[in-house]
Amino acid sequence: MAGFTDGKKTFFSSIVENIKKVGNFGMAYGDLVVKNSYAVGVTEAQFLKKGGIKDESFLFGIRKADTTTKQYIAYFDKDFKNKRHYVQGFAQNPEIEFILDTVCDESIVYDDKNFWAYFSFMQHEDVDKEIYAQTQKRYKEIYNLFGFNQDISAWHLFRKFLVEGNLAFEIVFDKKGKSIVGFKEIDAASLVPTVEAQPDGSFVDIWIQYPDNPSLTRKLYDSQIIYISYAKGGGTASRISYIERLIRSFNLLRIMEHTRIIWNVMNSSYRMAMTVPIGTKSPQKAKQTLGELMSIYKEDIRLNTDSGELTVDGRPKIQFFKNYLMPSSPNGTPDIQPLPGAGDATAFSDTKALQYFANKLRIDSKVPVSRFGREDSGSEGTISFGADGLDMEEIRFSKFINRLRSIYQEILMKPLWVQFCLDFPHLKNDYIIKSEFGLDYVKENMFKEAKEMEIMTARKDQVIKILGLKNSEGKPYFSLQFLLDRYLGMTAQDRIDNEKAKKEAAEKKKEAEGKEGEGTEETKPEEAAGEFKL
């Protein structure tokens, strides 16, 4: 795209110009905030302390990172690739896979049409039905261009987002730069955000890909890039991905498991101690001789932490009988006796310590403990829809899922907004319209639904009670509409949808009554008499 066309007068030039304009859509307010700001931001301070910045474009880009850029930029973390490689392997552990699958299954839920989210757009006075219908159509096109309608790639991308913490895509446009025709996944660690100064003194957001490799370097405008990150930028210390918080508790749990395995293996053998007279040999010579003999019985025990396989001297076998040879005085006699087990067997047979670290891993995962199943039966328990079944863990888990969804929706919302600006350029700087763009995720959290239904029922009962209050004249003291707005918890969009449904129901009722009236018209006597005659 732009990286291949800079400085070249080809038929792609129009694409570059259109994309550059799209990159400026809605950015005037952000530019004013940066230009009129007097304070020193967190990111800006880190560079100013090192000796100042002479490049105006670079300084503007840093200030923008402190005001409008919220993502964690993987390129600036020099150790990010090593971290990513580690967490990719870490995610292969069965316990971590179960946690990831649980979070992904809760976040990305498919309906019968293979949709996991629908475009939600609050009706706006400046947006007529044709624009609304066109935007809905564009959303489905973008959804299909990602291939989300054909498979479960959205689920896998969400899982990758939880593991690596970053996702990046290129938005590919047609030859005229007017319509989005596809997407290409790219390495998030290869992108660096900056700005490009324009002749009129303004700045355009751009991304530089592989800036350290001239043969791969590309310049892409912000309207060409989708970039989401789990961690927040701006100098705030945070984890790069979701599963990074699980590393410590999981490794401690694995160590506790391994100590018990090794202890049981080492103490499962029947051991014999043999005291052998050394005669006239010097103690040093005797020890050397016995050392050579003991090397024959020396074992190399290895536990494969990935497969769980145990090998002894390279063979998948355990020797259940061991002999120990010890030197004795010259005049002694051979002595053979069994040795008792070493250590306290009770400490390693007790599973409370294992249970503690297993629970710690579950707590760190933010997944409700009930989702892991019961220790005694192995089942995942039962679900209660009453108030007593609304565990606080489920409520917190639902809020956590909503936060993840809020980040993930950018992969559909950004290209949709870019396409909206291309289709309706007169609305490109309307921030109210942009703020009303959102996704309505397909949900399957029965605990949250039960909570909402109980809350709605309680609110309804309260409205009825308050509505029953009468004044001195016997009339209701409160307005029903006021009570509905104040206590029922309906949003502005809920009221609009409700009025729309009532209007449609009234029209259908009127139409049905009209048809019923036509059927009850008086019939002429001769028609009635010969109605069923040939």
Quote the number of domains for the chain: 3
Q: How would you list the strands of the sheet with 321-328, edge to edge?
A: 321-328, 270-277, 335-338
Of 290, 324, 340, which one is at a domain's C-terminal end? 340
**Does 81 have pLDDT greater than 90?**
no
Residues 297 and 425 in one domain: no
pLDDT at 500: 82
pLDDT at 326: 57
Residues 198 and 140 in one domain: yes
Tokens of 504: 């449609």
H or E segment to which residue 466 belongs:
helix 446-467
**Quick check: is 527 in a domain?**
no
Residues 329 and 458 in one domain: no
Higher pLDDT, 346 or 281: 281
Distance of CA 85 to the CA centre of its chain: 18
Strand partners, 338: 272
Higher pLDDT, 254 or 487: 254
Of 313, 340, 367, which one is at a domain's C-terminal end? 340
Across 11-20, 61-70, 409-418, least confident range: 11-20
Residues 21 and 47 in one domain: yes
333 pLDDT band (50/70/90 cuts)? Answer: low
**Does 498 have pLDDT greater than 70?**
yes
Tell me the mean pLDDT in the region 452-473: 81
Tell me the mean pLDDT in the region 372-380: 55
Long-range contacts at 384-392 (CB < 8 A, ≥ 24 apart): 385/446, 385/450, 386/450, 387/454, 389/447, 389/450, 390/447, 390/450, 390/451, 390/454, 391/447
Tokens of 266: 């080492």
Helices (H), 91-202: 94-107, 129-145, 153-164
Higher pLDDT, 481 or 208: 208
Tell me the mean pLDDT in the region 334-341: 61
Tell me the mean pLDDT in the region 40-64: 64
Domain that includes residue 324, residue range: 268-340
Using one digit for the tens of pLDDT, what is the confidence trace for 151-195?
Answer: 899 999 999 999 999 999 999 998 888 899 999 999 999 998 888
pLDDT at 168: 94
pLDDT at 306: 61
What is the Cα–Cα distance from 60 to 158, expressed in whole angstroms?
A: 33
Q: Are 199 and 262 in contact (CB under 8 A)?
A: no
What is the Cα–Cα distance from 346 to 355, expressed in whole angstroms?
A: 16
Mean pLDDT of the residues in the chain: 76
**Quick check: is 523 in a domain?**
no
pLDDT at 477: 80
* DSSP label of 46: H
Q: Are 25 and 7 in contact (CB under 8 A)?
A: no
Place of tokens 């009825």: 464
Higher pLDDT, 313 or 51: 313
What is the Cα–Cα distance from 227 to 207, expressed in whole angstroms?
A: 10
Using one digit for the tens of pLDDT, what is the confidence trace for 384-434?
Answer: 545 454 567 888 888 999 999 999 999 999 999 999 989 988 887 777 788
Higher pLDDT, 154 or 511: 154
pLDDT at 518: 62
**Does 99 have pLDDT greater than 90?**
yes
Residues 184 and 41 in one domain: yes
Residues 418 and 479 in one domain: no
What is the Cα–Cα distance from 533 to 266, expressed in whole angstroms?
A: 103
**Quick check: is 365 in a domain?**
no
**Quick check: is 532 in a domain?**
no
pLDDT at 501: 84
**Quick check: is 345 in a domain?**
no
Residues 71 and 133 in one domain: yes
Residues 124 and 236 in one domain: yes
pLDDT at 345: 56
pLDDT at 276: 63
Residues 468 and 434 in one domain: no
Place of tokens 């401690």: 252
pLDDT at 416: 94
List the one residue out of 450, 405, 452, 429 whose CA is nearest residue 118. 405
**Whole-number Cα distances in Å, 158 to 135, 323, 335:** 25, 56, 67
Across 35-44, 280-289, 322-331, 473-482, least confident range: 322-331
Question: Given CA atoms 347, 350, 356, 359 in this order, what sign does their dihedral have?
Answer: positive
Q: Is 479 helix (H, G, I), strand (E, B) or coil?
A: coil
Strand partners, 328: 277
Tokens of 515: 């048809």
Across 23-32, 159-168, 281-290, 457-466, least confident range: 23-32
What is the Cα–Cα distance from 33 to 273, expressed in whole angstroms?
A: 82
What is the Cα–Cα distance from 498 to 501, expressed in whole angstroms?
A: 5
Tell me the mean pLDDT in the region 453-469: 82
Residues 161 and 216 in one domain: yes
Place of tokens 């090397």: 295
pLDDT at 88: 92
Per cent of the chain over pLDDT 70 is 64
pLDDT at 371: 83
**Quick check: is 174 in a domain?**
yes
220 phi and psi angles, rounded to 5 deg: -125, 135
Strand partners, 275: 326, 335
Question: Given CA atoms 330, 332, 338, 340 in this order, what sign does their dihedral have?
Answer: negative
Of 396, 421, 441, which one is at a domain's C-terminal end? 441
Tell me the mean pLDDT in the region 374-378: 49
**Quick check: is 482 in a domain?**
yes
**Quick check: is 353 in a domain?**
no
pLDDT at 239: 80
DSSP labels for 279-291?
TTS-HHHHHHHHH
Residues 176 and 291 in one domain: no
Residues 435 and 486 in one domain: no
